[in-house]
């Protein structure tokens, strides 16, 4: 990394309404993912692996489990002033909560002033990806611009789903225009069929960031949002650059997952991201030892697979099973099971995501469903088979047919 003092800010105050009911009792960045992780672990792992050692996590909405996870999992040595610290809304500018991501930084400028960094890296807390931020920081310093925005290439057909960056024809590393979900985006100079979509990750020169959030804070018409207000202001003044993820080299990355990035802000994208994990050659590889994704290591026994009382072995295909789980004569296919899951004799779990301590009793069926923590599926019960029945029980069923059962629910036969 360049010889500059770097400070990291993780924006983790989002409510996550589109992930309900998974966010009914927790902040979006605290939602479990991939069996043993929380969503915030991906952002923090990327920053730590990139060599950053001073990081704050700005929290607000239902933050208890998130604060606890950061405190228990992300304890650095404390030597040389190294830390990952969870910082709740402080109300330093009056008796009000954060009104947007830019306002969160404005109300937390004391954190920046205390450390006096040269560069501030601002990232979201709810995306699944790998990225070496040190390379982006070097590119930002070289550019001399106030901000650099990380971007990933997406097919032109998906342009209306993202914030799209239009580059300068003469200098493709400078942002000419920032468009929110455009219908008629222009392709890249070197790839007309693709656009650059913002990843929600930014590198700022410190003075430029402080000035920008202060000016934004004085604008009554602003939504005080980083992507919607702060970045367009930098673009308008010709002071915004773009960093194409194609330039980023992450140690241990495979050709298949090198440029993987997914916003898991909806139930559908959350479900699909889990499906990306389970193939023999996964779209996103959790087993990259050169760039690990860190999380809390539970004091748990290994997962165990046993015959049931009738001697049936059961089967497991293309699935992830976490520590402490017990599978007895059941069939598991294309699914992700959280820690201490119990699946009993004759039960079938297919195309599903189960959080910690779920229990599926004998001969029950779970199909194309997400079960939150401590859900119990009674003997012979069905989840994800009859969508009208699922809705009548009060469960969420998406337009694509994914059934979501909230924390602690009991599913009767």
Same domain, 270 and 326: no
Whether 288 has a pLDDT exceeding 70, the answer reads yes
Same domain, 366 and 232: no
pLDDT reported for residue 189 = 81
Q: What is the pLDDT of residues 223-247, one digit of tens each?
A: 898 988 999 999 999 999 999 999 9
What confidence tier does 61 reach under pLDDT thresholds 50, 70, 90?
Answer: confident
Q: Which residues pair with 153 in a beta bridge?
A: 196
pLDDT reported for residue 340 = 96
Same domain, 210 and 342: no
What average pLDDT score do residues 306-324 get?
89
Same domain, 98 and 206: yes
| Beta strand residue intervals within 274-360, DSSP E | 304-306, 315-317, 320-321, 326-328, 331-333, 336-337, 342-343, 348-350, 353-354, 359-360
The Cα–Cα gap between 57 and 159 comes to 30
Same domain, 53 and 159: yes
What average pLDDT score do residues 311-324 get?
90
What confidence tier does 380 reach under pLDDT thresholds 50, 70, 90?
Answer: very high
Residue 285: which residues within 8 A CB-CB, separation 6 or more? 254, 256, 257
Same domain, 258 and 309: no
127-129 and 261-263 beta bridge pairing: antiparallel
CATH code of 223's domain: 3.90.550.10
Q: What is the pLDDT of residues 382-409, one digit of tens each?
A: 999 999 999 999 999 999 999 999 999 9
What confidence tier does 381 reach under pLDDT thresholds 50, 70, 90?
Answer: very high
Structural domain includes residue 258: yes
Same domain, 39 and 123: yes
Q: Which residues pair with 126 in a beta bridge?
A: none
Query: Which residue range(s) make up the domain with 396?
Result: 304-411
Whether 96 has a pLDDT exceeding 80, the answer reads no
Same domain, 344 and 208: no
146 DSSP assignment: S
The Cα–Cα gap between 195 and 154 comes to 5
Structural domain includes residue 154: yes
Whether 298 has a pLDDT exceeding 90, the answer reads no
Whether 349 has a pLDDT exceeding 70, the answer reads yes
The Cα–Cα gap between 296 and 71 comes to 10
Last residue of a domain, one of 275, 296, 315: 275
- 50-54, 126-130, 308-312, 393-397, range with the lowest pLDDT: 308-312
Overall number of domains in the chain: 2
Residue 98, annotated as binding a ligand: yes
Residue 201: which residues within 8 A CB-CB, separation 6 or more? 121, 122, 123, 124, 131, 133, 136, 149, 150
Structural domain includes residue 232: yes
Higher pLDDT, 256 or 344: 344
pLDDT reported for residue 2 = 52
Closest CA to 358 of 381, 391, 387: 381
- 49-53, 185-189, 240-244, range with the lowest pLDDT: 185-189
Residue 181, annotated as binding a ligand: yes
Before 21, cis peptide (omega within 30)?
A: yes
pLDDT reported for residue 77 = 66
Residue 278: which residues within 8 A CB-CB, separation 6 or more? 318, 319, 320, 334, 335, 336
Structural domain includes residue 299: no
| Beta strand residue intervals within 168-239, DSSP E | 175-180, 194-205
How far is the CA of 388 from the CAs of 68, 76, 353, 396, 403, in angstroms?
A: 37, 49, 20, 10, 10
Residue 412, annotated as binding a ligand: no
């Amino acid at each position: 990394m360049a010889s500059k003092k770097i400070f990291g800010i993780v924006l983790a105050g989002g409510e996550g309404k589109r992930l309900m009911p998974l966010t009914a009792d927790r902040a979006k960045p605290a939602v479990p993912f991939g069996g043993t992780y929380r969503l915030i672990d991906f952002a923090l792992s990327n920053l730590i692996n990139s060599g950053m050692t001073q990081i704050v996590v700005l929290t607000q909405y239902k933050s208890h489990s998130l604060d606890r996870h950061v405190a228990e999992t992300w304890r650095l040595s404390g030597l040389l002033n190294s830390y990952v610290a969870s910082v709740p809304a402080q109300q330093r500018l009056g008796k009000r909560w954060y009104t947007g991501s830019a306002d969160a930084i404005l109300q937390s400028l004391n954190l920046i002033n205390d450390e006096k960094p040269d560069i501030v890296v601002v990232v979201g807390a709810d995306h699944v990806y790998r990225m070496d931020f040190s390379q982006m920081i070097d590119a930002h310093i070289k550019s001399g611009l106030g901000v650099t925005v990380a971007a990933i290439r997406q097919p032109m057909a998906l342009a209306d789903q993202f914030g799209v960056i239009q580059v300068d024809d003469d200098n493709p590393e400078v942002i000419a225009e920032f468009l929110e979900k455009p219908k008629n985006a222009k392709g890249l100079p070197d790839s007309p069929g693709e656009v650059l979509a913002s990843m929600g990750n930014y590198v700022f020169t410190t003075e430029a960031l402080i000035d920008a959030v202060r000016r934004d804070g004085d604008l009554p018409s602003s939504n005080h949002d980083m992507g919607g207000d702060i970045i367009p202001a930098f673009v308008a003044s010709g002071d915004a650059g773009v960093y194409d993820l194609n330039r980023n080299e992450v140690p241990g990355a495979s050709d298949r997952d090198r440029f993987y990035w997914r916003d898991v802000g909806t139930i559908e994208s959350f479900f699909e991201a889990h499906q990306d994990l389970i193939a023999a050659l996964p779209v996103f590889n959790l087993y990259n030892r050169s760039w690990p994704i860190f999380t809390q290591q539970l004091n748990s026994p290994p997962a165990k697979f046993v015959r049931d009382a009738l001697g049936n072995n059961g089967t497991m295909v293309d699935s992830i099973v976490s520590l402490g789980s017990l599978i007895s004569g059941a069939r598991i296919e294309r699914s992700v099971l959280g820690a201490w899951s119990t699946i009993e004799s004759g039960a079938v779990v297919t195309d599903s995501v189960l959080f910690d301590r779920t229990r599926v009793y004998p001969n029950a069926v779970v199909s194309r469903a997400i079960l939150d923590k401590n859900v119990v599926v009674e003997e012979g019960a069905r989840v994800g088979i009859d969508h009208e029945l699922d809705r009548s029980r009060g469960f969420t069923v998406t337009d694509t047919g994914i059934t979501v059962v909230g924390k602690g629910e009991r599913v009767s036969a």
